[in-house]
Structure 1
Amino acid sequence: MKAITSRDNPLYKRLKALAGSTHQQRKSGHALLEGFHLASAYLDVAGQPETCVVTDEALHHPEAQAIVGRVDPAHLVSLPQALFGQLSNVVNGVGMLFVVPKLVRALPECIDETCVVLDGVQDAGNVGSILRSAAAAGIKRVFCAPGTAYAWSSKVLRSAMGAHFLLDVHEDAAAETLIPRLAVPVAITDSHAASPLYDCDLSGPIAWVFGNEGAGVSPAWRAAVSYWLSIPQPGGMESLNVAAAAAICLFEQCRQQRA
């Protein structure tokens, strides 16, 4: 295991640049996975990280030891806690970080299964929560339109809890490119829609489109809609958080498909 003790070390400088800038992560095609859960999920599905960074203190933790034991020693780097703290985005983190290449998937020519489209969802926490719900619901593909929060940012990765490694996540999927490839009906939710979600037949494949938290779904997707659905809210709230709405829709479809 390589030990880094100086902030002037070239590898440390690269790690700090990646940790401090989503732009740098996007430009380099890398993601930072912090914590035992994300590290273990990556090893289970994707294989070896490019670099596993671990603090001296974390090496005494049984869960960290188990993960380190699965990593090629050539990819292991240890850091003092003081240096690791400048890389971490987590308060009271566990002292482990993977640097991994972002998983890039080719856009399919034909989409004939249930999928999720994020149309300008800007909050990273909401994007991560929707990815997590989609993976839990057995969906395989999520398409992120331009204007959606960067799917491989540290905050989205933390919120998604490993869902990235169970999904094909496609970024910058513009409506004009994606809509002609859809062989399934498009559904959106709107508080003013006449058709309640629970009265609609959702047993077949659907492209669920969830829009911007303020502006909603863009005109291009509204023009492509087959199902315009409302989520009944007997409590009288005007709207739901987009991640909550997505979970309700996806698991109502799961319920109907089990029937």
Structure 2
Amino acid sequence: MKHVTSRENALFKHLKALTGSTHARRKAGQSVLDGVHLAQAYLDALGQPVQCVVSERHYDHAEVAQLLRQIEPERVVLLADALFDLVAGVVNGIDLMLVIDTPRGHLPSHIDTDCIILDGVQDAGNVGSILRSAAAAGIQHAFLVTGSAFAWSTKTLRAAMGANFHLNIVEHCTLDMLAPRLAVPLLATSSHAQAAVFDTDLRAPVGWVVGNEGAGVSPEWMAKVSRTVGIPQPGGLESLNVAAATAICLFEAVRQRRPG
């Protein structure tokens, strides 16, 4: 196990760059997972991290000790408390983080299963919540159109609560890339839809197009949508945000497909 106590240490400098910059994460092809929950979710789904970093003060913490037993000792880094405070992404949490190689999604040549397409969803919290709902609903593929928030940012990962590790996430997608590969009808929500999502047959695989928080689905993607559906809101307000609306649609499909 390595013990790092100096700010000049190359490993600490790399960790500080990763925790402080999305650009650095993209360039390095690595991401940082904060806290025991995300770390355990990653270990359960994908195995060993590049490194596990823990503070001196929490090295003997019961939850940390249990998790460290699952990680190869040479991957563990003990970081001085003062240095951990400089890179910590969670306030008053357990001082543990994993450095991982960011999983690279693959673009299937033929997409005939349920999928979700994020068309310019810009808020990282919304992206994370949508990914979490998608994974829970059994969706296999999440395609993020250029302009959407980074799927591996700290805020997205925190909101997704481990969902990233159970989805094939492909970023920087374009209409030209995806359209020829899609063999499922595309659906989108709209306040002007004639049919409610609860009255729409969702028993076969579909692709859900989720639009930008303010502008909605872009005209180019809306032109590819087979059908728009509405979500009844008897309260009289259009008060559902994009993540909540998406969850309702995904789980209406789950409801319709339940045996019996």
TM-score bin (small chain): over 0.9
- For residues 179-212 of structure 1, the C-alpha deviation after alignment (integer angstroms, 9 at most, x for no partner) is 1110000000011111111111011100001010
1:33, 1:97 within 8 Å by CA — same for their partners in 2?
yes
What residue number does 1:132 align with?
A: 132
- TM-score of the superposition, structure 2-length normalised? 0.98
- Runs of 4+ with deviation above 4 angstroms: none
2:104 and 2:54 map into 1 onto residues whose CA distance is 26
1:93 CA drift (Å): 2.0
What residue number does 2:108 align with?
A: 108
1:90 and 1:75 map into 2 onto residues whose CA distance is 22
1:61 and 1:11 map into 2 onto residues whose CA distance is 23
Aligned length: 259
2:80 and 2:11 map into 1 onto residues whose CA distance is 14
Gap regions ≥5 residues in structure 2: none
1:120 and 1:92 map into 2 onto residues whose CA distance is 33
Gap regions ≥5 residues in structure 1: none
1:191, 1:239 within 8 Å by CA — same for their partners in 2?
no
1:119 CA drift (Å): 0.5
Judge which range, 89-98 or 242-251, deviates more: 89-98
2:59 and 2:238 map into 1 onto residues whose CA distance is 50
What residue number does 1:48 align with?
A: 48
1:179 and 1:237 map into 2 onto residues whose CA distance is 34
Q: Output aligned runs, 1:1-259, within 5 Å.
A: 1-258=1-258, 259=260
Say which SS state the counterpart of residue 43 (structure 2) adopts.
Answer: helix
2:106, 2:168 within 8 Å by CA — same for their partners in 1?
no
Say which SS state the counterpart of residue 252 (structure 2) adopts.
Answer: helix
Aligned-residue identity in percent: 55
Q: Which amino acid aligns with 2:19?
A: A
RMSD: 0.9
1:219 and 1:181 map into 2 onto residues whose CA distance is 20
2:191 and 2:61 map into 1 onto residues whose CA distance is 49
Say which SS state the counterpart of residue 60 (structure 1) adopts.
Answer: coil
2:106, 2:169 within 8 Å by CA — same for their partners in 1?
no
- For residues 97-138 of structure 1, the C-alpha deviation after alignment (integer angstroms, 9 at most, x for no partner) is 100000002200000001111000000000000000000001
Say which SS state the counterpart of residue 63 (structure 2) adopts.
Answer: helix
1:239 CA drift (Å): 4.3
Say which SS state the counterpart of residue 23 (structure 2) adopts.
Answer: helix
1:219 and 1:145 map into 2 onto residues whose CA distance is 14
Q: Which amino acid aligns with 1:136?
A: A
Q: Which amino acid aligns with 1:221?
A: W
2:139 and 2:66 map into 1 onto residues whose CA distance is 30
Say which SS state the counterpart of residue 90 (structure 1) adopts.
Answer: coil
Q: Which amino acid aligns with 1:208?
A: W
1:22 CA drift (Å): 0.6
